[in-house]
Structure 1
Amino acid sequence: MTTAETGQTPDAARPVRVGVQIQPQHADYAQIRRAVAAAEETGVDLVMNWDHFFPLYGEPDGKHFECWTMLGAWAEATERVEIGALVSCNSYRNPDLLADMARTVDHVSDGRLVLGIGAGWFERDYDEYGYDFRTAGARIGDLGEALPRIEARWAKLNPAPVRDIPVMVGGSGEKKTLPLVARHADIWHAFGDAETVQRKGAILDGYCRDLGRDPREVERSAGVEGDPSAVGDAMLAAGVTLFTVSTGGPDYDLGPLRDWLAWRDERNA
């Protein structure tokens, strides 16, 4: 698939980047910390966790740690990589509080935080921690109200964030989520194969143009696995430039990550 076939306008100035999601499950924190250090050592661009309270895979009551407390620790433990959540659940925190948390971690990390955020979906988290699950539409509506509150709080905080904190919005809903991406996001984390990402990316482009925004301002992100030369090239042609590999505890195998980093370096050469 070529960029002409996808309808995407390639941004020659935007390099290919690779992230890793260190899943905070089925491991002691010391193992997680070592995995983050090893990932930074390999040259990865972005290290992320996720925002849940229980494992998503394997033993459902296995070991698990909280997202934002961990990001504060990573901010101190790392030196170069960007850090963030893939993604924070908007439902779990007051938006103004989340903005302040993000600003604080941004300072601790000297300007390396990415605020990943989404509407939430894991019903067990809601039920066991006392949040109202409601409907997907209501949760997306809450996200739409939260994003401008976060932006407004950042403008009021003293000290201000170190940089304009990049906002990554996760989700691919064509009628409700993608308009929020067009209005608020610096990064769109998409779900699906290259064909799906290309199709939804074209819809996002339209929303951006309706707002008078250059679609190329929104970096395209996706989770990937498998052979980089096959999967990665197709996603790259569909407009994706941020590729995230996931790894789970307790062993945190970074072998696939190294393959993707080698592919990144070839594409950026």
Structure 2
Amino acid sequence: MTIRLGYQIPNFTYPDKPVEQIFDTVVAQAREAEASGFDTVLVMDHFYQLPGIGTPDQPMLEAYTTLGALATATSTIQLSTLVTGNTYRNPPMLAKTVTTLDMVSHGRAVLGIGAGWFEREHNDFGYEFGTFTDRFERLEEALNIISPMLSGENPTFAGKWYKVESAMNNPRYRKRIPIMLGGSGEKKTFRMAAEFADHMNIICDRADVPKKVAALRQRCEEAGRDPATLPTSYLAMAVIVESEEESKRMLDSVPPDRLNRVFIGTAEQVAEQLKHDVIDAGITGLTLNLVRTGHIPGAVAQAGEALKPLVA
């Protein structure tokens, strides 16, 4: 398993689309991605829209219900979250959920997982948020339960946060479902990725990519793992426009601090930026979202055509 070219759908607010057509628009994007060379479709595991994309009251679909439905609407593309908030689900229940997704998709599920960070969701929905340390302790305990369950083992585990007794997980479609960690923490997240993950999705400012790649390699070496056995991808928010003039206008309208993670320009310009700032810095794959334009027919295909050569 690897993610060479992923398409993330983080936005369910579509101009001129009534609420009852939201999922139809999601399906159209997933099918267009599948037909355009993307190998993975990913959705966020959130209950509210995120700051920087929209307002909390804007539409947000539950991740695993959405992925299960997309499994029946697609045939070859991998399906994942970017990423599951560990704090939102009991670990063996999450293992069962992802394994069921793998069954209904005929072996296309990837477990994307992270520690969780959106405090308002926790408070509003009644989930314990805890401290930064708490959340990473919980994530590591969860991985000690989930990883063996995704490989057909029946773990017994007793930790500070979770306890299971010979937890079974049947039926399974594959011998092992791959695990992807998402985040940027050089000490905790990267160490856990080196120990548990089949893939690492790095989320950071473009200028920090070389530093993150070096840190991940170091964590792998410390764990006795060949860094080449842990493929990576980078989450990029792209705004693809039709002309250089439009690109210049868009660049002038974006606050400088946002430009650290947003790639703006024509499809060819965005591809050039991603090659220089991400691929040439040592990342092996890309995950792209098109927050403003992904719902427009043809937008996903245009991005796929421009980006496929970078990860071929």
TM-score in terms of structure 2 length:
0.75
The percent of aligned pairs where both chains have the same amino acid is 36
- Residues 240/152 of structure 1: CA separation in 2 closer, same or farther (3 Å cut): same
* Distance in 2 between residues matched to 1:249 and 1:228, nearest whole Å: 17
Aligned to 2:134: 138
- Residues 158/201 of structure 1: CA separation in 2 closer, same or farther (3 Å cut): same
Aligned to 2:228: 216
* Distance in 1 between residues matched to 2:133 and 2:303, nearest whole Å: 35
SS across alignment from 2:97: helix
Greater RCO, CA 8 A, separation 6+: 1
1:26 aligned to 2:13? yes
- Residues 43/165 of structure 1: CA separation in 2 closer, same or farther (3 Å cut): same
Give the root-mean-square deviation of aligned CA atoms.
2.3
Select 1:49's aligned residue among 43, 57, 76: 43
Deviates more, 1:209-218 or 1:232-241: 232-241
> Which structure 1 segments of 5+ residues have no match?
1-13
* Distance in 2 between residues matched to 1:107 and 1:261, nearest whole Å: 28
Aligned to 2:215: 203
Assess if the C-alpha contact under 8 Å between 2:2 and 2:231 holds in 1.
no
* Distance in 2 between residues matched to 1:65 and 1:260, nearest whole Å: 24
Shift of 1:152: 2.3
Shift of 1:259: 4.5
Assess if the C-alpha contact under 8 Å between 2:83 and 2:182 holds in 1.
yes
Deviates more, 1:23-32 or 1:120-129: 23-32
* Distance in 2 between residues matched to 1:16 and 1:160, nearest whole Å: 22
Aligned to 2:117: 121
Select 1:173's aligned residue among 185, 205, 208: 185
Assess if the C-alpha contact under 8 Å between 1:182 and 1:207 holds in 2.
yes
Aligned to 1:158: 170
* Distance in 1 between residues matched to 2:61 and 2:273, nearest whole Å: 34
Which residues of 2 match residues 73-152 of structure 1 at below 5 A?
73-152=69-148
* Distance in 1 between residues matched to 2:278 and 2:23, nearest whole Å: 33
Assess if the C-alpha contact under 8 Å between 1:90 and 1:120 holds in 2.
yes
Shift of 1:232: 2.4
- Residues 86/15 of structure 1: CA separation in 2 closer, same or farther (3 Å cut): closer
Aligned residues: 256
* Distance in 1 between residues matched to 2:3 and 2:64, nearest whole Å: 27
Deviates more, 1:218-227 or 1:43-52: 218-227
SS across alignment from 1:111: coil
SS across alignment from 1:126: helix
